[in-house]
Structure 1
Amino acid sequence: MTEKRINVMLVDDHEIVRYGLRVLIDKNKDLRVCCEAGNIQEAVKRLEEIEPNVILLDVKLPDGKGTEACREFKRIYPDVKVIMLTAYTDDSIISDSIMAGAEGYLLKNIDGNRILTAIRDVSEGKSILDEEVVGSIMHIVRNPLEHKVELKPQEKQILELISLGKTNREIGKTLFISERTVRNNVTRIFKKIDVSNRTEAAIYWSSRSQEVSENK
């Protein structure tokens, strides 16, 4: 039986960057670069023709912002997973990327193996943030203790597992509950803490855990 490959689309205006990523990715039997684009317009056209599993997307492109592209990609193909791959740690860009629905935000100076791991993880429904990015954005996340959001023990467990990048299925197995129960809990938790995706939830939990630790 042939192992199903993860199809990756590269969107970056620097050909040398795309070349390096393509060589890195195509060395792996479970990964394949299915298409490339140097700008948003070209990427939209390719996305309409080919439905990749994961898009590695530069934050700054000749014809617009990567965050705007991310929203457009999600509109065209809601199932696609997007990883912002950039040299920038600007707070507003990171925040905009998360709000645009990106599943990951990685810096271009990270180890190649971490990029490969991130591609595999987001394709499975996990969210990925570079450690340096988490540290940069933490202060712009509202203080959860000030909002006094009351979470049940199981909700805290689920949030912690989300912050570890676990999928709903993995959370269900860990807590011995059905995937449907996890999904319903995640929806309720997101409403409680006022976030719209798993990346925001992970940052929220990291911020809350840090505050609790500092106040002990």
Structure 2
Amino acid sequence: MLDKIKVLIVDDHSVVRKGLKMFLGTNPSIEVCGEAENLKDAIKMTTKTKPDVIILDFKLPDGDGINGSIAIKARFPDIKIIILTAYTQNETVLGAIRAGVDAYLLKDIESKELINTIIAVYKGKAVLDTSVTEDVFNTLKIENTNIKSKSSLSLQETKILDMIAQGKVNKEIAESLGISDKTVRNYISNIFKKLNVSNRTEAATYWIRKINTQ
């Protein structure tokens, strides 16, 4: 039997925590390994339970989802973070993306979609709620030539960087561009060198910040 996906729930409302725990506990692929009501407890519980995925409320008594994600990712870079919130402002969503979150969902999400998102981020994908996706990526749009002139990236590298920022995995990028997985890996290696970054999150953060300052 495959190991279950360990999920930590972080929300200052006990009713929300218990509701999520009860619902997620009915799925055979998921194990709720703990709960926390603030960021301080979230760090402690993360150290203790070592979850695969954290469901993190955006507004907490001792901080927000952006600060929380930065703090968690700094200590536990491999843990996936899903922001679950009612906030839809572009600035909030973009801040969360910059902080390295793996998914941004609204609290009116359907139960099945939440399960699918947990499984997706566990497998390395990034997910944005459909109600905020269009606005966010409209904010991020910019001419490829402008990006190229500022970062010395080729047109193909810029396309790949764009897809990395959207959370696409190498196989999806390869299929979209009609090239091999190995070629995608080579391009990504060159992108990392040119941008002086060491991983996909840093590369995506560069892309988003560059676009958002135009």
Short-chain TM bin: 0.7 to 0.9
Q: Deviation at 1:163? A: 6.9
CA contact (8 A) 1:124 1:167 kept: no
Tell me the residue number matched to 2:94.
95
Question: What is the CA deviation profile of residues 47-88 of structure 1, one whole-angstrom value per residue up to 9, with x for unaligned ones?
Answer: 111211111101100111121111111111111011111001
> Residue type of the partner of 2:170?
N
- Structure 2 SS opposite 1:110: coil
| Superposition deviation, residue 148 in structure 1 | 5.1
Superposed, which structure 2 residues align to 1:125-164 within 5 Å?
125-141=124-140, 143-145=142-144, 147=146, 149=148, 151-153=154-156, 156=159, 158=160, 162=164
2:28 and 2:41 map into 1 onto residues whose CA distance is 27
How far did residue 172 of structure 1 move? 5.7
Superposed CA deviations along residues 134-167 of structure 1, whole A, max 9, x for unmatched, are: 22323432523461536445763x4576577542
**1:177 equivalent among 181, 198, 209:** 181
Q: CA-to-partner distance for each residue in 1:70-108, whole Å, 9 max, x for gaps? A: 111111111101111100112221111111110111111
Q: Where does structure 2 lack aligned partners over 5 or more consecutive residues?
A: none
Opposite residue 202 of structure 2, the aligned amino acid is: S
Counterpart of 2:118 in 1: which secondary structure?
helix
Please report the TM-score for the alignment, with normalisation by the length of structure 2.
0.78
**C-alpha RMSD of matched pairs (Å):** 3.2
- Report the secondary structure of 1:22's partner residue: helix
Alignment length, in residue pairs?
Answer: 201
Unaligned regions of 5+ residues in structure 1, if any?
206-216
Instruction: Identify if the C-alpha distance between structure 1 residues 136 and 142 changes in structure 2 by more than 3 Å, giving closer, same or farther.
Output: closer
- Cα distance per residue 1:118-145 (max 9 Å; x no partner): 1111111111111211223234325234
Q: Deviations over 1:35-55 (max 9, x none)?
A: 110001111111111211111
Distance 1:42 1:83 in 2: 17
TM-score w.r.t. the length of structure 1 is 0.78
Closer, same or farther: CA 15–199 of 1 in aligned 2, 3 Å? farther
Using the aligned pairs only, state the percent identity: 36
Q: CA contact under 8 A between 1:48 and 1:76: conserved in structure 2?
A: no
